Structure 1
Amino acid sequence: MELDPESVDSLYRTLAGAVVPRPIAWVSTASAAGEPNLAPYSFFSVAAVDPPTLSFSPSKVGGRKDTARNVAATDEFVVNVVTADLAEAMNATSATLPAGESEFDRAGVTPRASTAVDAPRVAESPVSFECRREETVDLGGSDLVLGRVVHVGVDDAVTTDGEMDVGKLDAVGRLSGSQYCYTRDRFGMERPD
């Protein structure tokens, strides 16, 4: 099969099915009025290390969602890492809720005050990256949000000798459709000189 992006309705299923596994940004925000919001995004990555910058890409199809509106209004967000024990809660926050209904309540997770931004963290997540928006790039049907990490909260339980330990973190990844994966089956390779 050969696909011409200009000749097909959408490459979403091809992109989402082939670029796997994808990490999940569980993005918490607050509106200008202080109302919390929580939603998962699997179009997410580290964009840069110096300065530390994360990126995620919310869709605009059908209009901007609460996360994108909140980031535009406040310039702040938190990326919470989704672990195996939080997968069901994360999935619950992907539902479209009526205005005013809390994703935190629906998922049974706790909003916790952040250190450097007004957007709350997910208390149960072992790693939270507090970010200030650097730039939003209009990509047609989506926005690319770039956020500088201004504070990181890491539970000591997911570290070994002061460093992140992926075995202890037990993060999950997104595949395609309703498919997810554990990050437990790992192997190592030394980088050649």
Structure 2
Amino acid sequence: MFLDPLSTPGFKRSLFNAIVAPRPIGWISTISNAGQVNLAPFSQFNLVSTSPPVVMFSCNTPDDRHEKDTLANVRETKEFVTNLVSWELREAMNLTSTPCPAGTDEFELAGLEKSPSIKVRPPRVAAAPANLECQLLQIVEILPEHPGETRSSVVFGRVVGVHMAPEYLTEEGRFDSVSVKPLTRLGGIDYATVGDILQMPAPFRRAGQSN
């Protein structure tokens, strides 16, 4: 079966969310220049690079709606924090996705404690197993070209600080993702966490060889 997103009758764009899955959730905390705090989850999120350490999240903005507080705040302050969503924090994360009037503090809405960051202004989710303090690198605008499409703003941030709960740091200096049980997004309203774990070393590669 072949589906053309532009010409297949009844094509559901939500299929992409189910095919490209599971996806980590970027639980992004921001603050405006006026001091208003915002916390929102983004499932179009991922690590881009480790050296330099860079993460990204994408925010969709239909033409008939105002820009989301998260994106507006990042444009203003050039900073944000990515908070890791564990399985235990799934309900709180879901509450922070509630459509709210501009200026609503989702930390208060979800009953979450704030912790101060070190190098950026936005606060962290205190209960999160890990937090990444980020400074804005750039925002790439992907503009709609066909009916029904929306503008997407892809935000790239350099990680300038890492917070980790000590109970999830192993003696070898590794972050214990299995114990954290990170929450991931599938299609629709389906979520999951880690399942079967397999350790598979990469094949030996001789000097000068490339993939």
TM-score computed with the length of structure 2 as normaliser: 0.87
Say yes or no: does 1:94 pair with 2:104: no
Query: 3-state SS of the aligned residue for 1:142?
Result: strand
Query: 3-state SS of the aligned residue for 1:12?
Result: coil
Say yes or no: does 1:85 pair with 2:88: yes
Contact 1:137/1:145 (<8 A) preserved:
yes
Post-superposition offset of 1:11? 5.9
Give the corresponding residue for 2:23: 22
Q: Counterpart amino acid of 2:118?
A: T
Post-superposition offset of 1:99? 2.7
Post-superposition offset of 1:168? 2.0
Give the corresponding residue for 2:36: 35
Deviates more, 1:183-192 or 1:141-150: 183-192
CA RMSD of aligned residues (A): 1.5
Contact 2:29/2:82 (<8 A) preserved:
yes
Query: 3-state SS of the aligned residue for 1:58?
Result: strand
Query: 3-state SS of the aligned residue for 1:164?
Result: coil
Give the corresponding residue for 1:185: 196
Q: Aligned in 2, Cα 1:74/1:13: closer, same or farther, shift over 3 Å? A: same
Which structure has the larger Rg over C-alpha atoms? 2
Query: 3-state SS of the aligned residue for 2:179?
Result: helix
Say yes or no: does 1:64 pair with 2:74: no
TM-score computed with the length of structure 1 as normaliser: 0.95
Post-superposition offset of 1:10? 6.8
Cα distance between partner residues in 2 of 1:80 and 1:51: 19
Contact 1:24/1:82 (<8 A) preserved:
yes
Cα distance between partner residues in 2 of 1:19 and 1:3: 16
Give the corresponding residue for 2:6: 6
| Paired-residue identity, % | 40
Post-superposition offset of 1:133? 0.5
Give the corresponding residue for 1:143: 153
Cα distance between partner residues in 2 of 1:54 and 1:88: 24
Q: Counterpart amino acid of 1:3?
A: L
Cα distance between partner residues in 2 of 1:48 and 1:159: 21
Cα distance between partner residues in 2 of 1:36 and 1:104: 8
Structure 1: tracts of 5 or more residues without a match: none
Q: Counterpart amino acid of 1:171?
A: P
Q: Aligned in 2, Cα 1:11/1:78: closer, same or farther, shift over 3 Å? A: farther
Cα distance between partner residues in 1 of 2:96 and 2:90: 10
Cα distance between partner residues in 2 of 1:92 and 1:187: 33
Cα distance between partner residues in 1 of 2:82 and 2:13: 23
